[in-house]
Each structure stands twice: as structure tokens, then as C-alpha cells.
Structure 1
């Protein structure tokens, strides 16, 4: 990774130094002896190379010097100025010389980029740790997305199942309500029929001779809750008979067994259904 920034800077510096030396020798060769022109060219390149080496040494130590950097850029500007002056005074290929006149400044800029890269470069272990953290974050995000998608699918399935079950329950309730309505309609018709009582009495006449019970079919409607009874001493048959007679004859015509039993229990008396019905039969007989 380091070679990607340092190699272009080295190549650009070498080309710039060669061009600067060649231009100085060609430009001053006609005015002064060529050894003098060569010394001048080498002086410019040597000063540039010396300041560059010093800058690299300071950078390796984690330090920086403003004056050294200014001197280095001065040598780069001087080399660029020499190339531009030669291009402007050349009799031929002026455009080509102007095209390469920017190379010294470009070399300095590449070294600046390389210095910035070195100050921000990380070790392989740090880069590996960063990659691991990024991968862990991506894994957690992927798992979270998968979990959310799974939860959404599960919730959708649950809602679909609940909706379907509710629809089935509603259909069953509607069917049951229709069946109950028909059954209670039949019972009500039988209850209101004129021959219902006579038919039931004729069936039970052999079982309860000389007794004409008042047959009543159940009525479909709201019921009144009966308060809880406190357990007290058991009633004797005589006491039970007296209570049944008292409650039955409390209204004219006498109360039916159903009404009498309701008032008996509402009044707070306690007796089993078998004993209460047996007392009713004794009283009626």
C-alpha cells in the first residue's frame, strides 16, 4: 500500500530533476561553459533533493518544519520557473516544454500526498480489527433484519389464524343460535298449545292418581339469581309440609310447584329437591 503513493512521487521527482538539469545545461550552455551550467543544474536538483530528504527524515520522526517545507517548495518553484522560461525562449517545441513545466510542482504535490497518507496510515492489526468490527456490525444488522422479517411473518400468520378461528366461531355461534331459536320456538308452541296439559296429565295419571299437576315447560329468558343460602338445621317432614302449605296457599289460585320452590328457597329455607317435591306431593294429595 505504501508503494502506491511513494513510487509515483519518486518517479515524478526523478523526471523533474532530469528535465531541470537538461534545461539548465541547454539554456546556459551558450552563455557559460557547460561545466558551469552543469553545476548550476545540479545545484538546483541537489538543493531540492536535500530539502526533500530532510522533510522525509522529519516525517519519519513524526515531526514537521515549516522553514524546510518552504525551502523545498522554493526549489520546486525555481525548477518550474526555469522550465517555463526555457519554454518561452525556445525557438521550437514551445508547447511541449510548457506541457512538462508543471512536473516539479506535481512531484512536490505527490510527496505531500504521501506524507498525508503516512500520517493517517494504520497497522495491519488495526486494519484487521476495523474490518472485524465492520463485519460484526454487518452481521448484527443482517440478523436484526432477519429477526424482524421472521417476527412480521409470524405475526401475519397468527393474525390470519385468529381471524379464521374467529370466523369459524362466529359461524358456529350463528348456527347454534338458529338451532336454539328453533328449539325454543317449538317448546313455546307446545307450551301455548291447548292440549299440552291434558296430554301430559293423561300420561302421568297412572303414576300420580287423584293428582292433577300443573305442567309448565321451561321459559327461555333471563333468570334472577338466587342468593346463597346459609346452612341451618334440617327441617323435619312436618315442618317442611307446613312451609309448603303456607307458601302454596299464599296466593289465589295456589302457586305452582316451580313458583313455590323459588319462594321457598328465596325465603332462606333449605331442603333437598327430593324432599321438597315429596312434601309437595303430600300437600297436594
Structure 2
């Protein structure tokens, strides 16, 4: 991963150093011997390269020196100034030289970017852990979205089924109410008709001669409670009488009857007793 930032910085540095050396030799070679100009160019490039190497050494140790950085930028500015002055004084190719005058500063900026990348770079294990955490978060989010969608579809299906069932129930109730209304209307018309009693009397006159029955059809409306019938019930049997009857019915057949057969014959004979008393008498007789 470091090659992505190191290779461009190294290439830009090499190009800018070659350009600086060539410009110094061509520019100063006219005013002084070319070996002297070569020494000046190598001095500029050498100072720049030395400060750059020292900065890289400090960065590798996790340290930083503002003075060394300032000196490195100073050499870069000097190289850029040399290229700019040469471009302005050159004849015919000033634009081309100005176009490459920024290369020393660009190389310095690339080394700055490389240093920032090194200070923020992570190991392969850390990157793998981060990717795992991110993938786990994406998986959980996808599962949550799928669960919410499934619950929404289920709820929608349930609401649709309930709504349809309610609509069917309401439709059936409406039809039933309409049918009842028509039936009661028909009964009411028959009850209020003038010929209803005469027609019914004609039908039953041969069955009950001399009797004029009173026909009353049901009325759809409030009803009055019917009083309960009052009947004179027979006196309750005593325990002794109940035991005697149970014993007689039980031994009225050989072998002796079971409790169910005895109870059936007891009630068929017209006797009355609660189930609790009858079972208690059976237990006493059997014991």
C-alpha cells in the first residue's frame, strides 16, 4: 500500500532534481565554467535530498523536526525560484519552462502526503477487523430490514383477512335483517288483514264445529314476561321411604339392578327426588 504514495513522490523528486540541475548548468554555464555550475546544481539537489532523507528517518522513528522541514521547503523554494527565473529569462520557450517550474514544490507536497499516510496507516489485521465489524453491521441491518418487511407483510395479510371476514359477516347480517324484515312485514300484513280470521275459521270450522277460534299471530316488538305455572307438587319423600323404594326397585330383578337402571325405574314410576338424595339412598341401601 505504501508504494501508491512512495513511487509518485520518488518519481517527482527525481524529475525535479534533473530539471534543477539542467537549468542551473545551462543558466550559469554562460557566466562561469560549467563544472562550477554543475557543483551549484548538485548542491541545491544534494541539500534538498539530504533534508528529505533526514525527514524520512525522523518519520520512521515516529519523530518530527520543524527546523528540518523548514530547510527542506527552503531548498524546494530555491529550486522552484531557479526554474521560474530561468523561464522568465529564456528566449522562445518561457511557457514550457514555467509549466515545469512547479515540480520541486509538487514533489515536496507528495512527500508530505506520504508522511500523512504513514501516520494514519493501519495494519492488515486492523483493516480485516474493521471490515469484519462493518460486514457484521451490514448483515444485522439487512436481517432487521427483512424481519420488518416480513412482519409488515404478515400484518397486512392479517388485516386484509380480518377486513374481508368482517365484510362477509356484515353482508350476511344485512341479508338476514332484510329477510327478517320482509318476513315480519308479511306476518304483520297477514295479522292486520280483514279476511285473515274468516279464512282461518273456514279452514278449521269442519274440525271444530261451533267453535270460533281466536287467531293471534306473533307481534314483532316488546314482550311481556309470562308468569310461571304453579303446580301442586307431591310431598317430598323421607329418607326412610326413599331407602325402602330404592331397595325394592333394586331387588325387583335378579341379579340386582345397577344404579342407572334403578334410577331410571324410580323416575319412570313417578317418584321424585334429587340426584344427590337418590345417590345417598343408594349408598345407604348398598352398604
- TM-score of the superposition, structure 2-length normalised? 0.67
- Structure 2: state its 5+ residue gaps: 235-287
After superposition, residues 57-68 of structure 1 pair within 5 angstroms as: 57-68=57-68
Alpha-carbon offset, residue 173 of structure 1: 1.0
After superposition, residues 68-147 of structure 1 pair within 5 angstroms as: 68-147=68-147
Q: Deviations over 1:137-191 (max 9, x none)?
A: 3333333333333333333333332232222212211221122223333444555
2:232 to 220, 229, 236: 236
| Match in the other structure for 1:278 | none
| Match in the other structure for 1:178 | 178
Is 1:194 paired with 2:190? no
After superposition, residues 130-169 of structure 1 pair within 5 angstroms as: 130-169=130-169
Q: Deviations over 1:3-39 (max 9, x none)?
A: 1111000001011111112222222223333332222
Alpha-carbon offset, residue 96 of structure 1: 2.0
In 2 relative to 1, CA 34–187 (structure 1 residues): closer, same or farther, beyond 3 Å?
Answer: same
**Whole-angstrom distance in 2 between the partners of 1:141 and 1:33:** 74
8 Å contact from structure 2 (residues 187, 217) kept in 1: yes
**Whole-angstrom distance in 2 between the partners of 1:194 and 1:213:** 9
**Whole-angstrom distance in 2 between the partners of 1:225 and 1:91:** 129
Q: How many residues align?
A: 230
CA-atom RMSD in angstroms: 3.3
8 Å contact from structure 1 (residues 8, 110) kept in 2: yes
In 2 relative to 1, CA 123–199 (structure 1 residues): closer, same or farther, beyond 3 Å?
Answer: farther
8 Å contact from structure 2 (residues 58, 64) kept in 1: yes
**Whole-angstrom distance in 2 between the partners of 1:144 and 1:214:** 77
**Whole-angstrom distance in 2 between the partners of 1:97 and 1:131:** 47
Q: Deviations over 1:213-272 (max 9, x none)?
A: 97654432244689xx9xxxx97359xxxxxxxxxxxxxxxxxxxxxxxxxxxxxxxxxx
Q: Secondary structure at the match of 2:197?
A: coil
**Whole-angstrom distance in 2 between the partners of 1:2 and 1:64:** 19
| Match in the other structure for 1:13 | 13
